Amino acid sequence: MDLTYSPDELAFRDEVRGWLKANLPNEIRDKVVQYQHLAKEDLMRWHRILAAKGWSVPHWPQEWGGTGWDITQRYIFNEEFGLAGAPNIPNFGPHMCASVLMKFGTEEQKKRFLPNIRDGVDFWVQGYSEPGSGSDLASLKTRAERQGDHYLVNGQKIWTTLGHYGDWIFCLVRTDPNARIRQEGISFLLIDMKTPGITVRPLILMDGGHEVNEVFFEDVKVPVENLIFEENKGWTVAKYLLGHERMGSGNVGASKRELASLKALAAAEQKNGKPLMEDPRFRDRLTRVEVELQALELTSMRFLDKMRRTGQPPGADVSMLKLQGSQIQQWITELMMQALGPDAQPFMALDEGAVDGYRSRMAPRYFNYRKTSIYAGSNEIQRNIIAKASLGL
């Protein structure tokens, strides 16, 4: 087992690191590291910068604009993003919808949609969850009735991340309400968000941010050519898509950057006239998080080594990356809240200094990061997967 990088891989890491330092706009990086709101224009601007370099979709086949990098190079690229404070391009288009199109789409669908996803022209969002149909996704009720050359869609989606930015949305809809098994009778549709009958309403979270939405469909006409794969076979597409979320969910690079910020904060903050870092209870908690992060990084490298030796995707035990990665992110936010104390509360900064901007966003960020134990499969589900598939319990 090799848990190190080769000289060529280290050279590639330095190339990526240098390019990010030179090309990541300071104002976008500042928003990321200070936990400020990223507008659609920020995300699309960064997407287009990457696209101009040819790095917007490194995991794609080269025929569609991919880089031809191997799995190790792609892993290094993602980790350097986190370390640099670069915003990730939202997964919905480049990772999720694109993977579905490449696996199940027709040549016409690929030619129509993939170039605009690659170049940052269209912003995609996901329409899966519904009221009462989150973890039990197969119980969804949004209907799509075929009427000649189009479907008529009626229903509601909820918790649609960045739905207010969306140009297009991919949706699971029920096309056969009389199917014997719930997973049958579901189809996968691509829907233009500008179509009449679509209403997007914000859901304001406890951190005060507008990140998620509810989306209503009222007699929305969707051309039949926007159906992916076969009618009533959308569950097959959905299962394939969900399998693409796990390997990068540890977020090691971003957590290492956040941990460095936490250490600097603990060295500056005072408790009883001494730096907080000298408090044994706080230092013990911080050290434990650092050890867990190091273990997560080594575990990620172990999966990476296996993938590059065998050429096979990781098994069910890759769920431990998502499980531990989300916990570490939450532990870091908790320690930052403890370090700042009352200053962690939101307040209007009197100047534009990094410290004031940083502090004014800490409590909202803490609240927002409660979601990490739910998205990409809840931590409880990940434990079940590990127990059943890896431990045989």
* Per-residue pLDDT tens over the stretch 114-156: 999 999 999 999 999 999 887 688 899 999 999 999 999 999 9
CB 125 within 8 A of CB 166: yes
pTM as predicted: 0.88
Q: Which tokens go with 3?
A: 């848990």
Whether residue 358 is predicted with pLDDT greater than 80 in this model: the reply is no
Report how far apart, in Å, the C-alpha atoms of 268 and of each of 265, 271, 288 are: 5, 10, 20
pLDDT in tens, 291-316: 999 999 998 888 888 877 887 766 77
Q: What pLDDT band is residue 247 in, cutting at 50, 70 and 90?
A: low
Which runs of E-coded beta strand occur in the chain?
Answer: 124-127, 143-147, 150-157, 168-174, 186-192, 198-204, 210-223, 227-228, 270-271, 274-275
Write b or e for each residue in 91-123: b if 16 or more Cβ atoms lie within 10 A of its Cβ, otherwise e: bbbbbbbbbbbeebbeeebeeebbeebbbbebb
pLDDT in tens, 43-102: 999 999 999 999 999 999 999 999 999 988 998 999 999 999 999 999 999 999 999 999
**What's the length of the chain?**
393
**Does residue 245 have an active-site annotation?**
yes
Whether residue 360 is predicted with pLDDT greater than 80 in this model: the reply is no
Residue-range domains of the chain with CATH: 7-91 (no CATH), 123-234 (2.40.110.10), 247-390 (1.20.140.10)
Rounded CA separation 365/328 (Å): 14
CB 172 within 8 A of CB 155: no
- State the virtual CA torsion across 129, 134, 137, 140 in degrees, nearest 10: -60
Residue 328 zone, left/alpha/beta (φ > 0; ψ -120 to 50; rest): alpha
In single-letter form, the type of residue at position 28 comes to I
CB 366 within 8 A of CB 343: no
Query: Is the model more confident about 192 or about 308?
Result: 192
Place of tokens 């910020």: 261
Query: Is the model more confident about 4 or about 28?
Result: 28
- Sign for the CA dihedral angle at 81, 83, 85, 88 comes to positive
Write b or e for each residue in 209-235: b if 16 or more Cβ atoms lie within 10 A of its Cβ, otherwise e: bebbbbbbbeebebeeebbbbebbbbb
Tell me the range of 212-216, 268-272, 354-358 where mean pLDDT is highest: 212-216
Least confident of 120-129, 156-165, 212-221, 314-323: 314-323
Please measure the distance between the N-terminal and C-terminal CA atoms of the chain and give it in whole angstroms.
27
Which of 15, 231, 245, 292 does the annotation list as catalytic? 245
| SS3 annotation, 143-171 | EEEEECCEEEEEEEECCCCCHHHCCEEEE
In single-letter form, the type of residue at position 345 comes to Q
